[in-house]
Amino acid sequence: MRKILNFTLAAVVGLSLCACSASTVKSDAGQIKVSVKDSTVKLNHVEYIFPEGYNFFDATITEPIGMSVVEVKDQDGNLVGVCSDGLYKEDITKDNIKDAVNAAYMTFHNIDKPLELSDDMFVEGKKIEMLVIGLDDGQALFMAQLGTPNFVYATELKGDSEYVMDDFAKDCIKQLGGEEEYKLFFGE
pLDDT tens-digit map of 118-151: 999 999 999 999 999 999 999 999 999 999 999 9
49-74 residue pLDDT tens = 999 999 999 989 988 899 999 999 99
The pLDDT confidence band at residue 25, using thresholds 50, 70 and 90, is confident
82-107 residue pLDDT tens = 999 999 999 999 999 999 999 999 99
Bridge-based pairing of strands 40-42 and 55-61 is unpaired
Higher pLDDT, residue 188 or 61: 61
Cβ atoms 63, 32 nearer than 8 A: no
Cβ atoms 144, 93 nearer than 8 A: no
Distances (CA, A) of 187 to 90, 181, 182: 31, 9, 7
What pLDDT, on a 0 to 100 scale, did the predictor assign at position 32? 87
Eight-class DSSP state of 103? H
Cβ atoms 26, 62 nearer than 8 A: yes
Q: Which of 128, 82, 119, 120 is nearest to 99 (CA)?
A: 119
What pLDDT, on a 0 to 100 scale, did the predictor assign at position 19? 58
Cβ atoms 115, 133 nearer than 8 A: yes
Cβ atoms 2, 110 nearer than 8 A: yes
The pLDDT confidence band at residue 185, using thresholds 50, 70 and 90, is confident
Q: How many Å is the Cα radius of gyration of the chain?
A: 15
Positive/negative CA dihedral, 164, 169, 172, 174: negative
Instruction: Give the whole-number percent of the chain exceeding pLDDT 90.
Output: 74
As a 3-state breakdown, the chain gives helix, strand, coil percent values, each rounded to 5, of: 30, 40, 35
